[in-house]
Amino acid sequence: MKTLPKIPQLNNPEAEQAVLGSLLLEPTAVEEVADFLKPDDFFGDKNAEIYRACLDLYHAKKPIDLVTLSDHLKANGKLGKVGGVGYLSDLAATVPTASNVKSYAKTVTDYAIRRRIDKAIELAKASIYDPQKDTGQLVVEVENGILEATQRPDTEKLTPESETLAAFLGEVESRKEFNASGRFVGLTTGFSHLDEVTLGLQTGLWVVGARPSLGKTTFIRQLVDQVAMSNPDTPCLLVSYEQSRFELTLKTISRLSRVDSCLIQKGRLSEDNERRVNKAIDRYHTHASAVYIYEGDAKTNVETIKAKARQILKRHNAKRLLVALDFLQLVPPADGVFIKTDKERLDRVCSDLRRLARELDSPIVAVSSLNRPSYKQGGRIKQGGRMDLASFKESGGIEYSADVAVAMEANEDASQALTRERGKPMRVVDLRILKNRNGERAKITFEFDLPLATFTEIDKRELEEDIGIFEE
């Protein structure tokens, strides 16, 4: 008699125990898996209950260890059901290191998907042999069943609000702490008024638009430098499609040393200027190890940027980073994507960048061009035409995808007066926040010192009272 092959169990108990052991071994390991591994992914009820308790502690911002976990389970009447302190101790001894926790978790989720597929197929079989079942409805049920079974938890969006309330409460408490300490939720930019309006650079896509020669590259370079200096645990990546590393570094050293960039380029430095340049280099060197300039080309698409960003995060063991792009209209579409027009390309790039910002849980700031009809010859804004979202070149994708959209515009009369007063090229620039999903819209005024490649906030910030907060 022929023996039927043994059907393997659709679970991996060793991987489940390795995940839980890693969480007990390394307090921060839960951050590697919390966004995609769910309690229901565990085959055993007791392992699922232990993991659920770990998530409770994580969302409550409490440490995860043998003592806190056993106390939490005991307080909820679950300690005995999961095998007691003895089983928890055994879990902690199952793995020598927590460095592979993400791999263990992926194994657990893979088996969970297989079990869901198996269940969906069994339900489909039962419906297939039911003569009362409408065939059209049957097809819909089977399709939905397979779709739900194969959808990974990290891409699942349809969740009840009850699952987010604990995390939301923790976020509210964190923001209260930030407010009390004078800090911001996002990355500090070094521009006080900008931080006040936006609460710092928060996760999302930021687009900064300006006309040619207004200083948008200088602004984004200074922003990267100040973020690096103000947030020492946060690395920065500047992807430049136009200027070289040398040109961008020149802006930084000129600004920090207060020495005219033309003098540095020409090598015409007095003894005092040379001393200041060397001092600026020494000062910036401390922060420069966390700043990366990548010279982009026609093949540097969003996938390339994603790979570089992840490499930097891993190298610095960082939770987030700042990604800056100069500039948006030069970012090519993903490989293999057929694009008919420039507008379609920019729409796709903006959408991809916004998704990447959320995947990295980091801000992405991109410089953009503005439509030429938005200004007259000489840089003056067209008659009756204050900057708006439609001023951005190929604006459709920017209007939809940008979390924060900013337009820079020159005040020509004030710029001429300031140039005469200072005796060197100066501009007065209004930075107008046209869209801000998470807060106010405002106008912030800057002085732009061209020889020193420096933007300085003027003590002036005007909220746009005529535009509602949080308005789309």
Longest CA–CA span in the chain (Å) reads 103
Tokens of 342: 């420039």
Fold of 13-152: DNAb Helicase; Chain A (1.10.860)
Q: Which amino acid is at 68?
A: T
Strand pairing report for 404-410 and 204-210: parallel
Q: What is the pLDDT of residue 376?
A: 47
Tell if the pTM clears 0.75, that is, is over it: no
Q: Where are the domains of the chain?
A: 13-152, 184-463
Backbone angles phi, psi at 225, to 5 degrees: -60, -45
- Confirm if 224 and 322 have CB atoms less than 8 A apart: yes
| Alpha-carbon span 454 to 446, nearest angstrom | 10
pLDDT score for 61: 81
* C-alpha–C-alpha distance, residues 134 and 130, integer Å: 9
Topology of 184-463 in CATH? Rossmann fold (3.40.50)
Model pLDDT, residue 136? 58
Q: What stretches in the chain show pLDDT beneath 50?
A: 1, 4, 153-156, 374-384, 463-472
Task: Count CA within 13 A, CB hemisphere, residue 145.
Answer: 20
Retrieve residue 118's tokens.
């198996």
